[in-house]
Structure 1
Amino acid sequence: MNEQGKKLDSDKPRFSLIPQGTLQPVVRVLEFGAKKYSENNWRNVENARTRYFDAAHRHIDAYWHGEKKDLETGESHLAHAICCLMFLLALESDKKLPEICNHVWQEATAAGDGHRTFLCSKCPAKKAVPFGEKMGVL
């Protein structure tokens, strides 16, 4: 008589719920980044919270406007956005994310560049506004 085997995993994560074929493009983006910058370089990016949030939205916006593939990698913009969001999630769980910067802008215009350049005195953020245009909310 054969006895039924047991596997006590009913309360464990079900990775089989991840839609098939969705992880490969994400891994390819991560591999591209590891080769371009170095493995886990994303953990040391200055002002990571704001920068990865912005990058995720740029990729989502490009996708939303019909650009399916990132020009540099040839991978889906959505895979890039997922990577950015994964970085934020990992950094948050590691408690390595600083608070989002409430920028303190100071003008640092260089002669002849055609723009008014503003630098944040609290983080590495930079904003350029063409001369003659309203600055709007910085």
Structure 2
Amino acid sequence: MDGLKYDQDKPRLDLVPPEAIIAIGHVMTYGAQKYAPDSWRGVEAHRYVAALLRHLMAYQSGESTDVESGYPHLWHVLTNAAFLVALGGDNDG
């Protein structure tokens, strides 16, 4: 018997690189241990913009790894972008 599944209008999460999801998971685990799980939800969006830019500038300057966490700056960029999306993605400053 052939089954039906109407999923053509749903996002193709299987297309998201697993490396990106794993990177965000590592940084969020680090943050949960340093602060508290889900504490990121109480931080103003502009602070994530600033952190994202600091990590991006460090990467662009040739520094691949964040000294404090030991994780790549690009992993932090992804995580900060994910926070901004989760917090609403608007530009409320």
Q: Same fold (TM over 0.5)?
A: yes
Match of 2:45 among 27, 42, 49: 49
Structure (1 or 2) with the greater strand fraction: 1
Alignment deviations for residues 66-85 of structure 1 (CA, whole Å, 9 cap, x no partner): 11111122211111111111
Cα RMSD, aligned residues only: 1.8
Find the aligned partners of 1:37 and 1:73 in 2 and give their Cα distance.
Answer: 13
The answer to whether residue 65 in structure 2 is matched with residue 65 in structure 1 is no
Larger relative contact order, structure 1 or 2 (CA cutoff 8 Å, min sep 6): 2
DSSP-derived class of the 2:46 partner: helix
The answer to whether residue 29 in structure 2 is matched with residue 31 in structure 1 is yes
Alignment deviations for residues 75-99 of structure 1 (CA, whole Å, 9 cap, x no partner): 1111111111111121126x8x8x3
Contact 2:20 2:78 in 1 (8 A): no
TM-score if structure 1 supplies the norm length? 0.61
Between structure 1 and structure 2, the one with the greater Rg is 1
Match of 1:80 among 70, 76, 79: 76
TM-score if structure 2 supplies the norm length? 0.86
Q: Which amino acid aligns with 2:11?
A: P
Structure 1 spans left out of the alignment, 5+ residues: 101-138
Alignment deviations for residues 112-138 of structure 1 (CA, whole Å, 9 cap, x no partner): xxxxxxxxxxxxxxxxxxxxxxxxxxx
Segments of 4+ moved more than 3 angstroms:
none
Find the aligned partners of 1:20 and 1:39 in 2 and give their Cα distance.
Answer: 22
Structure (1 or 2) with the greater helix fraction: 2
Find the aligned partners of 1:13 and 1:19 in 2 and give their Cα distance.
Answer: 14
Q: Which amino acid aligns with 1:37?
A: Y
Number of aligned pairs?
Answer: 93
